[in-house]
Structure formats: C-alpha cells, structure tokens
Structure 1
Amino acid sequence: MTSAVLELNDHTINLYQDGDLISSSPGFALSLAGQTQFGQSAAEQSRLHPVNTHNEFWHRLSMTPLTRPLAHYRHNADIAHAHLLNIAESSDFEGDVVIAVPGSFSRDQLAILGGVLAKSPFRAAAMMDTGLFYAKSHMAGQQRLVFADLQLHQFSLTLLSRDQQQIRRESVAVVQGAGWSNVANALVQVINDAFIQQSRFNPQHSAFWEQHLYNELPDYLQQIRTGQADFMVSITTDKATHQARVSVAELVESLEPVFRRINQQLQMLLGDTPAPVLISERAAAIPGLENSLQVRQSPLGGEQLAQACVQASASLSVNGSDMPFISVWRQPEAAAEADLQTAPARVVATHMVLDHNAYPIAVSDDNETVTPSASASVLIQARAIAAGRTLFAGDTLSVDEGVELSLIRVHHGGA
C-alpha cells in the first residue's frame, strides 16, 4: 500500500502525500539560455517566449520526433520524463505512488507512460482511471453517472456505470478546443476588450501585460466564485494606471460556444438515457459551466481522488513487476452506501431569503412585489450575481454593503 498519488492532468500535475497536496505543476516547459524550466514558472512566461514554450507534451505523449526542437529532448516522452524529474526534485519525493490517469489516454500512451515512469523516481504501484476514482463514492443509488473534467487542451466526459457492486468506466468523450488554454484565451479577450472600451488601453499590445492578464486569471475566477457580478482589473504602467470593470455575464457569454460543444458531446455520450453530472473543482472554476451542465452536486477536489486511490491500492494484489491499470472497481454495497453518507449530495437552491420572504433566484415574476425599495435593489443585485452560477441550498450569497442572503430549495407538491 502507498499513501502517495500522482494525478496526471496537464492542466496541473498534482502530487498528493497522505491526502495532502505537496506539489502542483502545470504541463509547461520553457527553454531559455540553455536552461529548461517546468511548471508554473514556465507557464507564467509562455506569452513572453511562445517559440521557446512547449505545453502539448502530455496531451500528445508519444515517441515521434519533435518537429519544433526543445533543448536536447528528442520527443514528447523525453519532455514528460524531464517534467516528472522536476516534480520529484522540487517535492523531494522518491518512492511508491499510485498514478491517476485521464481516460483520454490511448493504449499506446499508457504503454509509453509506463516506460517513462520506470525511469523516474516515481515507482508506480498501479495506474487508475481518474474519472472512476473521482466519482466511485457517488455511485450508490446511481446506474450511470458522468464525470466532467478540464485538461489543458481538451475537456473530458467520462461515463461510469454500476452493475450491482461493480463500477466501470463505460466510455470517454473528449471535446477538443474546450480545454483551459481555449477558455483562458476567451476570458482574457473579454478583459482586454473591457480595457479598450473603458480606458482606451490595449494590454495585448504588450506581451508583458498580456502575460500579466493570463497569470492573474485564476485570481479573477476566484473572485467570481465568491459571488461578484463584476470585478475591477487594474494595470499600472510607467505612464499611467488603467482600470476596467469586467462583467461576469460577458465572460459567461464568451464561453457559450465552448459550452455548446461540451453539451453536444454529453448528449451523444448519454443517448436517450440521462444521467447526473459530477464536475472537478478545476472545471467548476469556469464561470457558467456548472449551470450549463446542470450540475447538482458540489465540485470534487483532488484530495477526494487521492483518498479513493489510496484506499483502493490497499486491496490490490500485484504480482512481480506487473503494473495494473484499473478502470473497473468492485465494491460491496455496504461500502458504497457508507461512502455516500460521508459525501452527501448537495441540492441546488431555487430561492433566496430576503426580509423573511423567499424569492426565486433565476427569474423575477412580473407581479412580484418587494418592499421597501432598498430590498428590491438588493434582490436585483443578488440575481445579477447568481446569473450563470449553480448555487446550493444552505449556502449564502453576499451582496454589496455586507448583505448576505440565505439560499434554500423550495419544493412544490412533493419531495
């Protein structure tokens, strides 16, 4: 049994030890002045040095010779190996580990990955399907379920099914052009346009300020998760300070083409039989996506994946040098029910409470009466903040001037 889990997702390669995240490294490599940087430092300079940056070596893991050279590396497998060495060195890790692998990896890529790992400090005890072990504790009472996840260059939808106590990965749909890089481009364009319209300043005229927007984007998205309808972005150059107020609704609108492609793949994956959708925390950071996919449960974090993989590894029986790849899991009914109780599903809120009255979150009734006028203003702000987001009963929604509205679910004629 091992307590370490390495999650291979090129959005961010995460290493967990005893359930805690100890290393996080995006799938970027940058070669400058004879030195190669990996991870966050490479990502934060990728717009400054696009020709010297590679970020597809995990996505296109292969031993095909590189068409665009990077330092002394022959192919993407070489770069991936170097990235693993960098992660091991920076986290001071060497030893047994469970490898969580996206369902989008092909058989050939899994074989190459096995060879790459064999020459690294990570001694792989097993490979496990990421979607299966993110979602398996939520399968109790479900026949089918979809796990939605974000990668750097694509979006993945993993269909899981349950037959008695056996949970298996049925199939995986990949949405090209819907990864983090595509999402980030769309969001940064909206922010850039806001600067042009409001301050006549174009950050994209400078690689430095364009890079700044990409680097700050995760912080902007975190602000959105707190319930803001808009947020202020400020850039101070050597000549002036420029500001732009960015609308969350405009950000969500810019992503509608991406959402349509994801939903089309989801419909093709499910056919005529609907199934609930679970979503990873990194995918849930995209504004409007939870609402578009009609997600009804809280996003799943990497710590949950790590815990599931470690628990599963305790019951594995490995012969010799065999390294199993697990995309099917047999779990007793009682254990599945216990997992469900430890991670209860959260229900989506339908109403917000203001002055002891419940008002619908999504749509205002034309005949709705709200008094006094100050309360009406608060309600308008709250609905603007809630637009495009999935909110859960039991949470609160923060509005200007420190007002917090409780969120509830109202049932009409049944449970």
Structure 2
Amino acid sequence: MPVALLDINDCKLRLWTDGAPLESPGYALFDGGAYRFGEAARASARLRPRDINNRFWWQLGTAPLQPALGPARHTADLVHAHLEHLHAEGGAPDELLLACPGSMPREQLSLLLGIAQQCPFRIVGLVDRAVLLAAGQRADAHLELQLHQALLTRFSHDGERVSVQRSTPLPGCGLLQLQEQQVQVVADAFIRQTRFDPRRRAASEQALYDALPGALATLSAHSECDIEIDGYRVRLDRSGLTSAAGRLFQAAHAALDDAASLLVDPLVALLPGMAEAFPQARKVDEQQLRASATALEAQLVVRDTALAFVTELPCLDGAADDTETAQQPAPVARPPTHLLQGASAQPLAAAGTPLAAGVSIVLDAGAWTLRGAALVNGASAASGQALATGDCIVAGEREFRLIEVVDHGS
C-alpha cells in the first residue's frame, strides 16, 4: 500500500490512505468545550462567526491567537488539533507524505514539521503540491485557490524533469473573497426579483453560501440556473457572476504569459468566465495528486535523512515536455448536468442524487463523484471515483447514464 498522502490546501485538505480521500476544509469551530473541524465547522461559519477560525493554516505561527478561540494559544495549536483530527478520522496511518503549497515560507514549513513531531505519525516526505501535479499533467503553470489568496506557480522543463520556477501569491483573490462577491450578486438578484434579502438572517445567508457550489456547477454548463432559499427562488445568469472573479483573472494574467499552458484546480475551473479568460486552461484530474505521489514515491519518501521541500520531479509518462497535448491543451471540460434512466432525465443535485441503497452521485470539490460502490462503464468503481459526461453506471440492478442537457442560450 502506498504511503498516505495529505494535500494541504485549506479550501479542502485531503488525506488519502486506502480508497477515497478524507476531505476537511480548513475551518475550526469551538463548540461545547471542544474543537470541530472541516465541513461541520464550515457549515456554521455564518451562524456562529465568533466561534470560527479559518485563518489558522494561512497564518500558521506562534503569535498569540487574536481573537481567542478556546484554549488554543496560537494558530499552531489549531493546526496541531486539525492534523490529529484528520489522522484519527483517516484510519491512523503511521506515515504521511505532505503536499504543501509553494506559498508556505520556510518558517511555516519548519514549524509544520515541528508540530508533526508531536503527532502520532511520522512525516516521510514534503513536496510542492503544484509540481507534483505538473509531473503528471504537463503544463507551464498552475493556478489554485486557497481560502484567503490564490497561488500561481510557474514551471520550467528540460524535457524529462519539471521544477518550480516561481510561486506568486495573489492576495485578495482567495475563495472567501470570491464567494463574498458571488453571494452579493446572488443576494442582489433575490432583492431585485423577490424583494427577499437572504443576507438579513444568518440562517438564510448560510443557506446561500451552501447553495453556491451547486449553482456554479450548473452555470459551468448552462447560461442560467435557479437558486431557492427559504421558499424564494431566483433565476441567475452566468454573465452576472463573471465579474466576481475579475480581480483573480487580472492578477493571474499579470503573472502568466498569455501563451502558457495552464493547469487549474477544480474550484478554479468552476468560476464563471474562466474558460473565456483562459482558453489554454486544463482542469486538474481529481486523482492526479495521488497518482503522481504513488508513481514517484521512491523519489519523495525519505526515512533515513533530513527532509527537504521537493520542488523538482521527473515527468511521468505522458507528461513529457514535447508532447502534442502540451502544445495544444484541451479546454476545461463541461460536466454532466442530468442523470438519464430509460427515457427520463433528472437534474443532478449538488447535495446528492440517489441511485440505489448506499449509492449516490454528489458534487465534491467541483466534480461529480460516486458515493458507494457501483459499476462504471462496465468496471467496478469504488466510492470517490470522479464521473464524467457519458459514463454508464449500474447500481442496484438499474442502469443510468450521465448526460449534458444543452442550453441553446449558452
């Protein structure tokens, strides 16, 4: 079994052990004398803002925590608690390989390794997450969203190896800033179309934030979508949300040669206007980080010498510098929108579309994903497998197909 891999991106940390990854956004909630992390904390962000911290990975350090949150002295204490939570929930692996963003300075990486020494696992590798992706999917640059900033990483290639040339943080362009802009656009639509303001109450504002990922997934394939909050429904136009990411697009263009091929994380690929702003962009495969780490484990895992932050790796087969695919990257793919059974099609629901007992399709990190075991395109598929338009799924003796319903107005 490959060494467990922890992907440290605070929009959603992912721990791979055996099978589908455990996912946990970088949120901490102090509740009833104890900390709760991940999705449970994120779902309370608008309901209990004074009991939430979502900056502890971004601001990892030992300065006194301001404002205070329970007994934690500083953000390092919250990172320690989150790591122990992930470890316990993820099957308690003995060893971890860490994939970290290039925006983490040396001081934070050193502190992170020191924190890990107080945890019940051993760190056996430390690698730049962007170069690990580029080793398997050749590109000149990679764009990711973090909670409080974006990060653009440029690479250099010699035909056989890829290395980080520079990592450029894009301040003010994080997921939370983008969501604030998007939520305001949606709230204005509610006020204009229904006179209902979903931001006046914490519960309806939280519901609006919760509904946003599903709306963005729909808008990635259609020009319009509906959002319903507290019995009020509005019709949204994709073009109305395009301006919300304008600052990110401008900052990324300033740091990126227009001719460069670009890998983008799934959250970036969901942004309205992304395909038009960056026609050279390709969405990162959901399993690429794990696949690259497994294939390059011999180069990444270190047990007998001091750890170093790896920023250069050999290119895997199919990701060579001179491939035709690298010169003409495919555009960001359009996801499925409906589930077809027989002659009937139903829209996919972000919260989950059931197929059979214990089997469903959910929206996860911007991609439609299988939950539970089923047959996909005639082969056995485990929970966590990414799904695409055209996939044939057999579950509970019933056959389904994922399709895209084309909106002729898009």
Same fold at TM > 0.5: yes
Residue number in structure 2 paired with 1:280: 265
Secondary structure at 1:125 match in 2: strand
Q: Which amino acid aligns with 2:269?
A: A
1:235 has 2:219 as partner: no
1:173 to 136, 158, 168: 168
1:300 alignment partner AA: V
**Following TM superposition, by how much is the alpha carbon of 1:278 offset from its aligned partner in structure 2, in angstroms?**
1.3
In 2, Cα distance between the equivalents of 1:317 and 1:50? 40
Residue matched to 2:181: 186
3-state SS in 1 of match to 2:44 = coil
The residue aligned with 2:13 is: 13
Following the alignment from structure 1 to structure 2, what is the Cα–Cα distance between the partners of residues 85 and 348?
39
How much has 1:49 moved relative to structure 2? 1.1
Distance 1:340 1:124 in 2: 35
Q: How does 1:135-284 map to 2 (within 5 A)?
A: 135-139=134-138, 145-225=140-220, 227-236=221-230, 241-266=231-256, 270=257, 274-284=259-269
CA shift in 2, pair 1:55/1:339, >3 Å: farther
Q: Which amino acid aligns with 1:211?
A: Q
Superimposed CA distance per residue, residues 79-131 of structure 1 (whole angstroms, 9 cap, x where no aligned partner) = 01101111122222222221100010000011011112222234221011111
Q: Identify the residue that residue 290 of structure 1 maps to in structure 2.
A: 275
More divergent stretch after superposition (242-251 vs 287-296): 287-296
Would the aligned equivalents of 2:136 and 2:288 in 1 still touch at CA under 8 Å?
no
Distance, in Å, in 1 between the alignment partners of 2:206 and 2:214 is 14
CA 1:287/1:120 → structure 2, altered by over 3 Å: closer, same or farther?
Answer: farther
State the one-letter code of the partner of 1:311.
Answer: A
User: Deviation at 1:262?
Assistant: 2.6
In 2: Cα distance, 1:322 partner to 1:301 partner: 31
Alignment of 1:51-200 (within 5 A): 51-139=50-138, 145-200=140-195
Task: Return the offset for 1:291.
Answer: 2.5
The gaps in structure 1 that reach 5 residues or longer are 350-391, 406-415
**Counterpart code for 1:327:** T
Structural mapping, 1:257-406, within 5 Å = 257-266=247-256, 270=257, 274-297=259-282, 299-316=283-300, 318=302, 320=304, 322-331=306-315, 336-337=319-320, 347-348=330-331, 398-400=405-407
Does the 8 A contact of 1:128 with 1:309 survive in 2? no
Equivalent AA in structure 2 for residue 216 of structure 1: A
How has the CA–CA distance of structure 1 residues 338 and 396 changed in structure 2, closer, same or farther, with 3 Å as cutoff? farther
Output the amino acid matched with 2:30.
S
Q: CA deviation at 1:41?
A: 0.7
Shift of 1:275: 1.9
Equivalents in 2 of 1:338, 1:3: separation in Å?
28
- Paired residue type of 1:220: A
Identity %: 29
Say whether the 8 Å CA contact 1:98–1:313 is kept in structure 2: no
CA contact (8 A) 2:135 2:315 kept: no
Cα deviation for residue 253 of structure 1 reads 2.3
- Separation (CA, whole Å) in 2 of partners of 1:146 and 1:288: 19
Normalized per residue, the structure richer in helix is 1
- Residue 404 of structure 1: CA displacement? 12
- Give the direction of change, closer, same or farther, for the CA distance of 1:230–1:152 in structure 2 (3 Å limit): same
CA distance in 1: counterparts of 2:229 and 2:56, whole angstroms: 33
Q: CA deviation at 1:396?
A: 8.7
CA distance in 2: counterparts of 1:287 and 1:316, whole angstroms? 36
Deviation string for 1:137-168 (max 9, x for gaps)? 333xxxx7011111111111101101243321
Tell whether the 8 Å contact from 2:280 to 2:330 is kept in structure 1 after alignment: no
The 1:60–1:276 alpha-carbon spacing in structure 2 relative to 1, beyond 3 Å, is same
CA RMSD of aligned residues (A): 2.9
Change (3 A) 1:404 1:304: farther
Q: Which AA in structure 2 matches 1:61? A: L
CA contact (8 A) 1:152 1:181 kept: yes
Q: 1:337, CA displacement in angstroms?
A: 4.2
Q: Structure 2 length normalisation: TM-score? A: 0.76
Q: Single out whichever of 54-63 and 317-326 deviates more from structure 2.
A: 317-326
- CA contact 2:147–2:175 (8 Å) conserved in 1: yes
Question: Could you give the per-residue CA deviations for residues 347-377 of structure 1, whole angstroms, max 9, x where no partner exists?
Answer: 349xxxxxxxxxxxxxxxxxxxxxxxxxxxx
Contact 1:153 1:176 in 2 (8 A): yes
Q: How many Å apart are 1:65 and its aligned residue?
A: 1.4
How many angstroms apart in 2 are the aligned matches of 1:178 and 1:302?
Answer: 22
Number of aligned residue pairs: give it: 342
Q: Which residue of 2 aligns with 1:22?
A: 21
CA distance in 2, matches of 1:285, 1:122: 35
Q: Separation in 2 of the partners of 1:304 and 1:340?
A: 18
